[in-house]
Amino acid sequence: MKHRFSWLALATVTAIGLVGAMPIKTHAAVSHRYRRSTTATVFFHGYGSGAHAERHMVDAAVNAGVTNTVISANVTGNGHVTMSKKIPRGAINPIVMVNFEDNENTNYPEDGQYVANVLRKLKKDDHIKTVNLEAHSMGNMALAYYFLKNSNNSAMPRVKKQLDLAAPMNGIQGYDLPTNFTIDKKTGKPSAMSANYRQMTKLRQIYPKNQIDILNIYGNVGNGTDDQVDCRSAQSLKYLEDSRAKSFREKEITGPGADHVQLHRNPQVDQLLINFFWGK
């Protein structure tokens, strides 16, 4: 089932097509200021968007000297994954920019399968054993549904870190966001739950235990939302994953750069992301 959500359709300009053609800035050498590993960091975009939405954050990492290896993965509507090139063996801090061709698919189990197909291919074809995951907006729903099915799947790379940006975990304004709900500040439990959120509460039993560091970033332009995602919806991630995560941290972004679209173009977010994934 698909729905056209105006709040996300307006959030970004749709870009469909093989993102392997996108030029990526690279540095000749990787800086020793950052952790050096073969863990791949995989970026997922939101509704109505594409890999172009990940580009500002990826360019920030490349320009900082985090890596000189960036590839793209295009996922068709039937789940077929095409990589722009292979990740060289021993590549330091490689980055994968994922593009969903069916970028308006709100069948979250299918979106979760898209994530699984990308990660499975990285392990099988590129011998990637560990990954970090970043998602913006509806991409976070894809990650959650990936974990619902694959938390204990040894055929997948082991997830080390997860950064959730503007995550609409407990619903979307104008569609399924519960009315007048509150958040328990200690546990993150919402007083009312959307149907999808109730489904995701299974993560409280199956999300990988003491394995994944989580950073949950959301924006507040001054009205309790980032103009599209309610802060309470983003804060609801805590109840789903905090009790099983290796660590869990939240960061609220304020000011003009806290807008839903601007969050993935925000230098403050860039630095938080770089420090979280690769900081020593």
Nearest CA to 208 among 165, 277, 161? 161
Please classify residue 102 by burial: count the beta carbons closer than 10 Å to its beta carbon, then call 0-12 exposed, 13-18 middle and 19+ buried.
Answer: middle
Residue 262 scores a pLDDT above 50: yes
Assigned token pair, 210: 């003491």
User: What pLDDT is recorded for position 68?
Assistant: 96
Domain assignment present for residue 194? The answer is: yes
Rounded mean pLDDT of 243-268? 97
The angle subtended at Cα 108 by Cα 212 and Cα 11, nearest 5°, is 90
Domain assignment present for residue 29? The answer is: yes
Rounded mean pLDDT of 91-99? 98
CA distance 110 to 131: 21
Residue 83 scores a pLDDT above 90: yes
Q: Which long-range contacts (CB under 8 A, 24 or more apart) does 103-107 make?
A: 103/14, 103/16, 103/45, 103/47, 103/48, 103/49, 103/50, 104/2, 104/4, 104/9, 104/47, 104/48, 105/2, 105/77, 106/1, 106/2, 106/3, 106/5, 106/47, 106/138, 107/1, 107/2
In the chain, % of residues over pLDDT 70: 90
Number of domains in the chain: 1
Rounded mean pLDDT of 175-185? 96
Domain assignment present for residue 58? The answer is: yes
The angle subtended at Cα 190 by Cα 172 and Cα 221, nearest 5°, is 50
- Span 41-59, pLDDT tens digits: 999 999 999 999 999 999 9
Q: Which one has a higher pLDDT value, 17 or 91?
A: 91
Residue 24 scores a pLDDT above 60: no
User: What pLDDT is recorded for position 20?
Assistant: 38
User: What pLDDT is recorded for position 11?
Assistant: 41
User: What pLDDT is recorded for position 201?
Assistant: 99
Domain assignment present for residue 169? The answer is: yes
CA distance 111 to 160: 21
CATH of the domain at 244: 3.40.50.1820
- Span 29-45, pLDDT tens digits: 788 899 999 999 999 99
Rounded mean pLDDT of 110-126? 98
pTM: 0.91
Domain that holds residue 125: 6-278
Confidence grade of residue 21 (pLDDT, cut at 50, 70, 90): very low
Residue 270 scores a pLDDT above 80: yes
Domain assignment present for residue 1? The answer is: no
Residue 117 scores a pLDDT above 70: yes
User: What pLDDT is recorded for position 174?
Assistant: 87
Rounded mean pLDDT of 91-105? 98
CA distance 207 to 201: 10
- Span 181-237, pLDDT tens digits: 999 999 999 999 999 999 999 999 999 999 999 999 999 999 999 999 999 999 999
